[in-house]
């Protein structure tokens, strides 16, 4: 990538793309071995690649405290959610080896800080609830009692779940620069894309150079549609309905936190690191159940100055096909009533698909619906 091209894309959060990969140091096997949870493994990989720039490791107390209270890192930069490593007790040495669930060492952490934390307060501030029925709160309340902060060096990366879609921030940035894109909109999704989401992404794409469809493939709750099925949906949809030279599809390795508004900011900052200048925020982004108001994930962006966030959120309404308009629309663009709108509840869609029936073409592309029907048969 030339210097000129690099300047054309948005700068990473904090100004520089972090790279915390490095060679395997001597004596790793003699260090205390610390197995990470699935979410912590996702975070570790994102620390390695700079997806969480400017973070260079799991958060020490000062960053953690200020993030929880003020949505800022200690140095003042906006940051929405803790990126922490929970342990049973402070380690003995000043280095520990971080391993996957099978005990294979992946990284070394230089212990900077080990501190107790207040789960209730973190839940209240970050999730806006302490209800244990909330999946993010349940995970937090089940965590070990200390956080371990410090710089990480990752010498062994986990095999990505979708190797053909595995692009690190440096890779997406190269891909955008090669295509000559400067303004790129990122789309976060953890669901199959139906017509409504296709519409949002295309409306956004009308005003920028390129689109990054960036499905989250880290851990989700068990009733979300499996990542493999979703990935196949994106593949068939993009192949048939998007111009190939305007879209990049890649996997976002993060685990879902279900923190709603704060996660919307966090998702936006991560996509800035991947090179996106814009980010789509729909209704109830990263929400779960009815813990968050419909527009909370959009309103929270008002708490930050636009120039300190850098990436620009693009807010969208719920979209639908309107028979009277004869096209996709939203409450912002359609004057007609609900009778003209093709709307199916999530429950209704699942019923149809489970029966092997295609939802109306105004709601779902048949190619996408076929993938979903096939997944129900397995």
Residues lying near Zn ion in the complex (CB under 5 A) are found at: 322, 324-325, 334, 336
Nearer to Zn ion, 180 or 331 (CB): 331
Cα angle 285, 42, 113 (rounded to 5 degrees) comes to 105
Q: Which two tokens stand for residue 283?
A: 């209704």
Nearer to Zn ion, 323 or 348 (CB): 323
**What are the residue numbers of the active site?**
190-191
**Min separation Cβ 323 and Zn ion, Å:** 8
Measured from the Cβ of residue 83, the count of other Cβ atoms closer than 10 Å reads 21
**Min separation Cβ 145 and Zn ion, Å:** 55
Write out the H or E segment, with its range, that includes residue 211: strand 210-215
Q: Which two tokens stand for residue 99?
A: 């391993």
**Min separation Cβ 360 and Zn ion, Å:** 16
What are the residues whose beta carbons fall under 8 Å from the beta carbon of 47, sequence distance 6 or more?
A: 18, 20, 55, 56, 57, 58, 83, 152, 154
**Min separation Cβ 179 and Zn ion, Å:** 35
Nearer to Zn ion, 243 or 326 (CB): 326
Q: Which two tokens stand for residue 150?
A: 């410090």
Nearer to Zn ion, 75 or 336 (CB): 336
CA 287, 290, 291, 297 dihedral sign is: positive
**Min separation Cβ 127 and Zn ion, Å:** 37
- CA 64/CA 60 separation, integer angstroms: 6
Measured from the Cβ of residue 162, the count of other Cβ atoms closer than 10 Å reads 15
């Amino acid at each position: 990538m030339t210097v000129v091209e690099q300047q054309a894309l948005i700068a990473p959060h904090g100004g520089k793309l972090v790279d915390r990969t490095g060679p395997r140091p001597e004596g790793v096997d003699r260090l205390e071995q610390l197995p990470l949870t699935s979410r912590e493994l996702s975070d570790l990989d994102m620390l390695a690649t700079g997806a969480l720039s400017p973070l260079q490791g799991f958060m020490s107390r000062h960053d953690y405290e200020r993030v929880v209270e003020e949505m800022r890192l200690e140095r003042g930069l906006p940051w929405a959610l803790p990126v922490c490593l929970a342990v049973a007790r402070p380690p003995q040495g000043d280095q520990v080896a971080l391993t996957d669930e099978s005990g294979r060492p992946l990284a070394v952490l230089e212990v900077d800080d080990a501190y107790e934390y207040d789960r209730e307060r973190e839940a209240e501030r970050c999730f806006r609830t302490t209800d244990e029925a909330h999946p993010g709160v349940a995970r937090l309340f089940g965590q070990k009692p200390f956080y371990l902060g410090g710089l990480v060096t990752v010498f062994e990366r986990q095999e990505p779940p979708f190797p053909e879609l595995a692009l690190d921030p440096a890779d997406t940035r190269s891909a955008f620069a090669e295509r000559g894109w400067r303004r790129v909109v990122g789309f976060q999704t953890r669901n199959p894309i139906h017509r409504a989401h296709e519409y949002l992404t295309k409306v956004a794409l009308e005003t920028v150079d390129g689109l990054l469809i960036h499905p989250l493939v880290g851990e989700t709750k068990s009733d979300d549609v499996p990542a493999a099925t979703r990935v196949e949906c994106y593949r068939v949809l993009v192949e048939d309905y998007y111009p190939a030279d305007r879209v990049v599809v890649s996997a976002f390795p993060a685990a879902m936190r279900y923190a709603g508004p704060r996660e919307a900011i966090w998702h936006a900052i991560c996509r800035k690191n991947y090179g996106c200048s814009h980010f789509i925020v729909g209704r109830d982004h990263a929400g779960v159940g009815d813990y968050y108001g419909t527009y909370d994930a959009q309103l929270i962006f008002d708490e930050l100055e636009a120039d300190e966030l850098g990436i620009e959120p693009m807010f969208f309404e719920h979209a639908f096909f309107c028979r009277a308009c004869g096209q996709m629309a939203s409450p912002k663009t359609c004057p007609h009533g609900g009778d003209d709108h093709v709307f199916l509840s999530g429950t209704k869609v699942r019923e149809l698909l489970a029966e092997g029936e295609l939802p109306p073409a105004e709601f779902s592309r048949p190619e996408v619906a076929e993938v979903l029907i096939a997944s129900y048969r397995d």
